[in-house]
C-alpha cells in the first residue's frame, strides 16, 4: 500500500472519500486553500501549480512532499496531469511516466500516438491562424469529393491542453471561420467531424490491464448522462472493452484511470475522440459509484498505487460481473436566458418517481450571463434521477435539459 497519496488539486468530494478510507494523503493545491485546510485538519502543501520555474518545479515539490512520505501522485484535474506525471516519474524512477502524461495534455500528440497504434481517428492538423483552418477545410472537402455548391465538411478546432469543451468550436462553413474564429484560438488542433454515437468510458487500470470498466451513456454531451449504459451500448460492451484495452496498450498506461471518448458507428466501428486521465466532468464518478455501489472517487485515487495486491483491488472495485440494480443519471442546468431573476421548479418534477434531488440555487437578485463563456459555461446546478429503465431515463434527461428553470 502507498505510504501517502499526493492529491494534485483541490476537491472536497475526493478529500472526504479519502478521509473515509483512513489511508494517508496530502493535498497539493494553490495557497488560497491553505486556511480552509488548516481549519479542517487537512494535510496540505501550498503550491503554485500554474507555472514551472526554478522555485516551482517537480524536484522542489518532491522535497516538500518528503515530509509526508508521499510516494504516489494522483491528478484530480486536467491542469495537474503533468505535475502528477513528473512526480510519479521520480517515485517510480521511470522517465516515461512523464512522457505518457504529456500524451494526455497535448491533443495533437495524443492523436498521432493513437493513429500510429492503429486506432481509427479523424483527419487532424495543427493550425496557427484562420487561413490554416480554411486550408484544412478545403482539403477535407477535396477528400470527401465535395462538389461546388455542396456544404463544406465540418471542422472542429480545440486547444491542445484544455479540459472538456473549453475553447471548442464547430465550424460548418468557410464563412463561419471568418465570423467566429479569433486570434486567441490559435495555435490549436483542427480535426474532421467524427460520425457515430458518442459515449465515454472510465477504465480503472492496474498493471496495464483493465480491472473495472464503466461505460457512460451520453444523452447530450456537456448536459446529461447516465450510468450504466443503455441496452444498445451494453450489447457492444465486448467490442468497447477490446478497444479500451488496445488504447491502454498503445499509450503504455500502467496505473490510474483513463476516460476515453468514442464514437460508435452503425457498422460497429469505433472512432477514437480523445482521452483524459483525471476525474471526468458531469459528476460521472459520482453516478458510477451510486450505480455500482462503491466509492469511485476513493478507488480512482487508490488505483494509482502500483503496490496494490489483487486482494486490495477486489476490496475497492465492484465485484467482477456486478450488474447495477438501477440507472443513475443527471442533467446539468444552464439558464436559457441571458438575464433572469428567479428559480422555478415545475411541480411535475417533484411528482416524477425517478427524481432524486437537485442542487439548483435561486439567484439573489436579477442576474446576467456574460457572452464570454468557457466551454458550455458554468452550469447552475444538477438534477439527479434514479430508475430501472434506461429508455425512461433518456426521455427524462432530454426533456429536462429543455426546461427553463431560471426565468
Per residue in 78-90, pLDDT (tens digit) is 999 999 999 999 9
CATH H-level, domain 196-325: superfamily: ATP-grasp fold, B domain (3.30.470.20)
User: Domain limits of the chain?
Assistant: 5-104, 124-192, 196-325, 328-400
pLDDT at 193: 87
Q: Are 285 and 300 in contact (CB under 8 A)?
A: yes
Same fold, 5-104 and 196-325: no
d(CA 184, CA 51): 20
Q: Which three cell numbers stand for residue 383?
A: 438534477
Best-predicted range by mean pLDDT (2-11, 98-107, 169-178): 2-11
Over range 156-168, report the average pLDDT.
74
Please report the sign of the dihedral spanned by the C-alpha atoms of residue 301, residue 307, residue 312, residue 317. positive
- CATH code, residues 5-104: 3.40.50.720
pLDDT digits over 360-370, tens only? Answer: 988 877 776 65
- On the question of pLDDT at 373 being above 60, the answer is no
Q: Considering just the CA atoms, what is the radius of gyration of the chain in Å? A: 22
Collect all residues with Cβ–Cβ distance below 8 Å to 331 and sequence separation of at least 6: 219, 223, 224, 382, 383, 385, 396, 397, 400, 401
For residue 9, CA distances in Å to 26, 282, 297 come to 10, 18, 14
Q: How many Cβ atoms are within 10 Å of 175's Cβ, its own excluded? A: 10
Over range 31-44, report the average pLDDT.
97
d(CA 304, CA 326): 28
For residue 344, CA distances in Å to 42, 348, 361, 362, 406 come to 38, 12, 10, 8, 6
Per-residue confidence band for 375, with pLDDT thresholds at 50, 70 and 90: very low
Q: Which three cell numbers stand for residue 258?
A: 483513463
Amino acid at each position: 500500500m502507498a505510504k501517502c497519496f499526493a492529491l494534485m488539486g483541490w476537491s472536497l468530494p475526493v478529500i472526504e472519500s479519502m478521509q473515509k478510507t483512513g489511508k494517508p494523503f496530502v493535498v497539493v493545491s494553490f495557497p488560497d486553500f491553505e486556511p480552509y485546510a488548516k481549519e479542517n485538519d487537512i494535510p496540505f502543501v501550498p503550491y503554485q501549480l500554474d507555472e514551472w520555474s526554478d522555485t516551482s518545479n517537480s524536484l522542489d515539490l518532491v522535497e516538500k512532499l518528503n515530509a509526508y512520505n508521499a510516494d504516489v501522485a494522483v491528478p484530480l484535474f486536467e491542469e495537474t496531469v503533468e505535475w502528477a506525471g513528473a512526480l510519479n516519474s521520480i517515485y517510480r524512477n521511470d522517465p516515461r511516466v512523464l512522457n505518457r502524461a504529456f500524451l494526455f495534455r497535448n491533443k495533437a500528440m495524443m492523436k498521432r500516438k493513437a493513429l500510429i497504434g492503429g486506432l481509427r481517428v479523424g483527419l487532424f492538423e495543427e493550425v496557427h491562424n484562420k487561413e490554416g483552418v480554411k486550408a484544412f477545410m478545403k482539403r477535407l472537402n477535396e477528400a470527401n469529393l465535395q462538389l461546388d455548391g455542396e456544404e463544406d465538411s465540418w471542422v472542429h478546432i480545440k486547444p491542445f491542453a484544455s479540459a472538456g469543451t473549453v475553447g471548442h468550436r464547430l465550424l460548418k462553413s468557410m464563412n463561419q471561420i471568418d465570423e467566429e474564429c479569433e486570434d486567441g484560438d490559435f495555435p490549436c488542433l483542427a480535426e474532421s467531424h467524427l460520425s457515430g454515437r458518442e459515449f465515454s468510458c472510465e477504465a480503472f487500470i492496474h498493471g496495464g490491464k483493465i480491472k473495472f470498466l464503466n461505460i457512460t451513456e451520453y444523452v447530450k454531451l456537456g448536459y446529461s448522462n447516465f450510468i450504466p449504459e443503455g441496452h444498445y451500448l451494453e450489447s457492444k460492451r465486448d467490442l468497447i472493452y477490446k478497444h479500451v484495452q488496445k488504447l491502454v496498450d498503445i499509450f503504455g498506461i500502467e496505473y490510474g484511470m483513463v476516460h476515453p471518448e468514442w464514437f460508435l458507428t452503425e457498422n460497429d466501428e469505433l472512432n477514437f475522440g480523445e482521452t483524459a486521465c483525471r476525474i471526468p466532468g458531469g459528476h460521472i464518478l459520482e453516478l458510477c459509484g451510486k450505480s455500482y455501489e462503491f466509492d469511485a472517487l476513493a478507488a480512482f485515487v487508490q488505483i494509482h498505487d502500483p503496490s496494490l495486491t489483487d486482494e486490495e483491488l477486489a476490496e475497492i472495485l465492484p465485484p467482477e460481473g456486478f450488474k447495477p440494480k438501477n440507472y443513475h443519471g443527471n442533467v446539468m442546468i444552464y439558464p436559457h436566458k441571458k438575464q433572469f431573476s428567479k428559480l422555478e421548479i415545475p411541480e411535475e418534477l417533484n411528482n416524477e418517481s425517478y427524481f432524486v434531488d437537485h442542487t439548483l440555487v435561486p439567484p439573489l437578485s436579477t442576474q446576467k450571463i456574460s457572452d464570454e463563456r468557457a466551454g458550455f459555461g458554468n452550469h447552475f446546478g444538477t438534477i439527479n434521477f434514479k430508475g430501472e429503465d434506461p429508455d425512461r431515463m433518456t426521455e427524462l434527461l432530454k426533456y429536462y435539459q429543455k426546461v427553463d428553470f431560471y426565468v
